[in-house]
Amino acid sequence: MGFRLACKDLGTTCPFVAHGETMAELTANAAKHAKEVHGYTDEQLSDPKMQEKIKAAIKEE
């Protein structure tokens, strides 16, 4: 049991899917990917609108 977040659910064509046992682990993995691959900054990722989008795309698995 854990959580997943597919990058393509955030409007990209990227095949990356972040996984995590906990919500904190998932968001850490997703944030690392977003910064390394897509060039996002912490500031952009902590934007309330971005946070809402991310939360809506998180699924349990």
Q: For binding to Zn ion (CB under 5 A), which residues are involved? A: 7, 14, 16
Contact 23/55 with Cβ under 8 angstroms?
A: no
Distance of closest approach, residue 32 Cβ to Zn ion, in angstroms: 11
Task: Tell me the C-alpha distance between 11 and 2, whole Å.
Answer: 22
| Minimum CB distance to Zn ion, residue 60 (Å) | 20
Minimum CB–partner distance for residue 29 and Zn ion (Å): 11
Q: Map tokens 């968001």 to a residue.
A: 27
Q: Which is nearer to Zn ion, 1 or 20 (CB)?
A: 20
